[in-house]
Chains A and B, each alone.
Chain A
């Protein structure tokens, strides 16, 4: 009995000691999204970091992609912001303006900062103080995928670099020819199937419209009226509506795989860099990667992806920065990113990636980052800008009047900016 009592006391003491030791650890909360592969990759890096830093405990907080903003809002309201958070690059201005993020330059290893591509720096920079608030291993782009067999059948010119991208005339001419080619059900898949709940419409269609001289908002006066509902935008969206009306575009109801689906019913696809893995797995050498077409005088392509920031409320920003540096340099994490055809945001990662390095099948996509990439409007009203714009495009694609839909969207954006007194100091950015 006495022995049992003694062992109980020792066990309790050991438990208390262990609990005390556990409490002494610094806990870093990391909120992220991603599919199972990425979730595992992040988890593995966290385990390696913990092994190298026994006094730190990394707690990974997973938030589903489609409910990420809700989870983020809940964290803000409950004053439970994580130390590190993954964020979608175009929302950066809104987060910094709201005071959720802190500048990361002093917290991240210098060699990593020097390694960032221009496009990566652009997506993590807040336009007011020009400071860097987030950093990522990756970036993104959209290219034009082509079915080699079909393109050869219509005698299409295959561009070899961003500089000789198809012009509007060539692009529409090829669409017309493809629509008449046997085996082709739709000339192009623009991934309407992604719907309006993702960023796709703003991210991928925005650059085509910008190439035609349009923009979502005037980036100096920060007014949408006169720009989004201006002549250039109405013309550009009427052009896209015309493609839909002619039956050239894969409809929303047909999903997002018509380019490589059985029989390959779509001849072209305007898809993200990540689409290459799926397409090449299904179509092998029959896939051609081309730059986005030049609708007007200049070529424009999108950039921006999910990047990592450190919250302003973090009590251990140095450790958070140390973990981020560790994550972005981790060899196995980079290896996994390569298998996912991740688009490089760091020069060293680009050089080591056979897909994007010179001569690689996606080299053209990487060339766009330095020649034609333009970030989405870096303004705190971006959540409203993108939502209003996507609804307008959806209406137009479904047969609505372009002028009417764009005027309503521009009004909604301007009202949001007015309601927030111009989001100072953005109101002084003329």
Chain B
């Protein structure tokens, strides 16, 4: 009897343990399959960029050969690494980087200041202003793009870096994000600093900004990706290689009659790298900001 009492739970525990292990294996397998599916286009892109025959790339696309290259070559990368002339992809990459850094840095300053004022500033009609900011967010960019082109051209900004930075520095979404983040911080922080005689700008700069790393990371990544992937706007307002970004330059590979898949793939890989670096640099805070907002919510 005692044996029976002792052995029954043990066998149950083993069975339960086995069950858990099998479940974990199934879960891991599922995750692995999903991960493979998610990563396969990127892998395919990387492999295709190492093939130097655009017809081969096309022919391989529908089969597993798309994931294999027998004689890898960097010739596509060499082809696009020019820094001057109409096909200066190195130059375009540099242009995109300048636009990204300038947009993100100035965007962080402007939007965080606006968010801070909306959260803690002694403004009249703050609620209305906030409602207006949120209302602005629902207006699609495409609907104002043509009037914006006319404005920028009248300001004489066509074909400059400024025309690709200025319109996108202030954004209702990021103002609202900062507002939400600042508003959640304890009121006592502001009051204590104020009692110590700190000005509003000092409180913003020395207390609230250092505390808002997750918000800064989130906005940096979102703004960075948005700026990096801009296509229609720079197409409309840039003319020459002086300020043309990489996204517009890559479109050169997609001609009316033929597509240069080989070089387009190599340029796409190069285009992907800075955004990946940006994400990897900020992802810890980026994730924590999303987790934090979910928990707080």
State A232–B59 Cα separation when bound (angstroms). 38
B61 lies within 8 A of chain A by Cβ: yes
Q: Smallest Cβ distance from A37 to chain B, in angstroms?
A: 8
User: Which residues of B (252-292) have their CB < 8 Å from a CB of A?
Assistant: 252-260, 263
Q: Are A78 and B258 in contact (CB under 8 A)?
A: no
State A34–B259 Cα separation when bound (angstroms). 10
Supposing A40-B87, A67-B232, A74-B237 touch, asked if A261 and B58 sit within 8 A by C-beta, the answer is yes
Q: Smallest Cβ distance from A143 to chain B, in angstroms?
A: 14
Supposing A63-B235, A70-B232 touch, asked if A78 and B252 sit within 8 A by C-beta, the answer is no
A274 lies within 8 A of chain B by Cβ: yes
Interface segment, one of B7-15, B146-154, B185-193, B210-218: B146-154
Most chain-B Cβ atoms within 10 A of its Cβ — which of A64, A77, A340? A64
Contacts of A63 in B (CB 8 A): 235
Q: Are A66 and B254 in contact (CB under 8 A)?
A: yes
State A149–B237 Cα separation when bound (angstroms). 51
Q: Are B59 and A278 in contact (CB under 8 A)?
A: no
User: Which residues of B (69-128) have their CB < 8 Å from a CB of A?
Assistant: 85-87
Contacts of A43 in B (CB 8 A): 85-86
Q: Smallest Cβ distance from A306 to chain B, in angstroms?
A: 7
B240 lies within 8 A of chain A by Cβ: yes
Contacts of A278 in B (CB 8 A): 55, 258
B158 lies within 8 A of chain A by Cβ: yes
Contacts of B252 in A (CB 8 A): 34-36, 39, 62, 64
B239 lies within 8 A of chain A by Cβ: yes
Q: Which residue of A lies closest to B237 (CB)?
A: A74
Contacts of A282 in B (CB 8 A): 55, 59
Complex A-B: 14 CB contacts under 8 Å = A33-B256, A35-B255, A36-B253, A40-B86, A59-B239, A62-B244, A65-B251, A67-B235, A70-B235, A74-B237, A77-B150, A78-B154, A198-B256, A260-B55
A52 lies within 8 A of chain B by Cβ: no
Contacts of B154 in A (CB 8 A): 78
A80 lies within 8 A of chain B by Cβ: yes
Contacts of B256 in A (CB 8 A): 33-35, 65, 198, 306
The residue from B55, B248, B257 contacting A272, defined by CB atoms under 8 A apart: B257
Q: Which residue of B lies closest to A39 (CB)?
A: B86
Q: Smallest Cβ distance from A364 to chain B, in angstroms?
A: 19
Contacts of B58 in A (CB 8 A): 255, 257, 261
Q: A35-B259, A61-B239, A70-B235 are in contact. List 14 more A-B contacts (CB 8 A).
A: A34-B252, A36-B253, A59-B239, A62-B252, A65-B251, A70-B232, A71-B236, A78-B153, A78-B154, A78-B158, A198-B256, A255-B58, A260-B55, A340-B257
Q: Which residue of A lies closest to B58 (CB)?
A: A257
Question: Using a Cβ–Cβ cut-off of 8 Å, how many residues does chain A contribute to the interface with B?
Answer: 42
Question: Using a Cβ–Cβ cut-off of 8 Å, how many residues does chain B contribute to the interface with A?
Answer: 36
Q: Are A77 and B146 in contact (CB under 8 A)?
A: yes
A262 lies within 8 A of chain B by Cβ: yes
Q: Which residue of B lies closest to A279 (CB)?
A: B55
User: Which residues of B (222-250) have their CB < 8 Å from a CB of A?
Assistant: 231-232, 235-237, 239-240, 244, 248
Contacts of B260 in A (CB 8 A): 35-36
A60 lies within 8 A of chain B by Cβ: yes
Q: Are B153 and A80 in contact (CB under 8 A)?
A: yes
Supposing A33-B256, A278-B55, A278-B258 touch, asked if A39 and B149 sit within 8 A by C-beta, the answer is no
Q: Which residue of B lies closest to A277 (CB)?
A: B258
A79 lies within 8 A of chain B by Cβ: yes
Contacts of B85 in A (CB 8 A): 40, 43
Q: Are B240 and A61 in contact (CB under 8 A)?
A: yes
State A112–B236 Cα separation when bound (angstroms). 33
Supposing A66-B251, A74-B237 touch, asked if A261 and B59 sit within 8 A by C-beta, the answer is yes
* Bitwise interface map of A from 256 to 298 toward B, beta carbon under 8 Å scored 1, else 0: 0100111000000000101100100110000000000000000
Q: Are B146 and A39 in contact (CB under 8 A)?
A: no
A316 lies within 8 A of chain B by Cβ: no
User: Which residues of B (17-70) have their CB < 8 Å from a CB of A?
Assistant: 55, 58-59, 61-63
Contacts of A38 in B (CB 8 A): 255
A18 lies within 8 A of chain B by Cβ: no
Q: Smallest Cβ distance from B237 to chain A, in angstroms?
A: 7
Supposing A80-B158, A262-B59 touch, asked if A65 and B255 sit within 8 A by C-beta, the answer is yes
Contacts of A340 in B (CB 8 A): 257
A221 lies within 8 A of chain B by Cβ: no
* Bitwise interface map of B from 191 to 219 toward A, beta carbon under 8 Å scored 1, else 0: 00000000000000000000000000000
A73 lies within 8 A of chain B by Cβ: yes
Supposing A70-B235, A255-B61 touch, asked if A78 and B149 sit within 8 A by C-beta, the answer is yes
State A334–B205 Cα separation when bound (angstroms). 63
Q: Smallest Cβ distance from B124 to chain A, in angstroms?
A: 38
Supposing A64-B252, A67-B232, A78-B153 touch, asked if A281 and B55 sit within 8 A by C-beta, the answer is yes
State A119–B87 Cα separation when bound (angstroms). 33
* Bitwise interface map of A from 60 to 95 toward B, beta carbon under 8 Å scored 1, else 0: 111111110011011001111000000000000000
* Bitwise interface map of A from 13 to 56 toward B, beta carbon under 8 Å scored 1, else 0: 00000000000000001000111101110110000000000000
State A66–B231 Cα separation when bound (angstroms). 11
State A40–B237 Cα separation when bound (angstroms). 22
Q: Smallest Cβ distance from B63 to chain A, in angstroms?
A: 8
Q: Are B240 and A59 in contact (CB under 8 A)?
A: yes
Q: Smallest Cβ distance from A49 to chain B, in angstroms?
A: 15
Contacts of A64 in B (CB 8 A): 235, 248, 251-252, 254
Contacts of B146 in A (CB 8 A): 73-74, 77
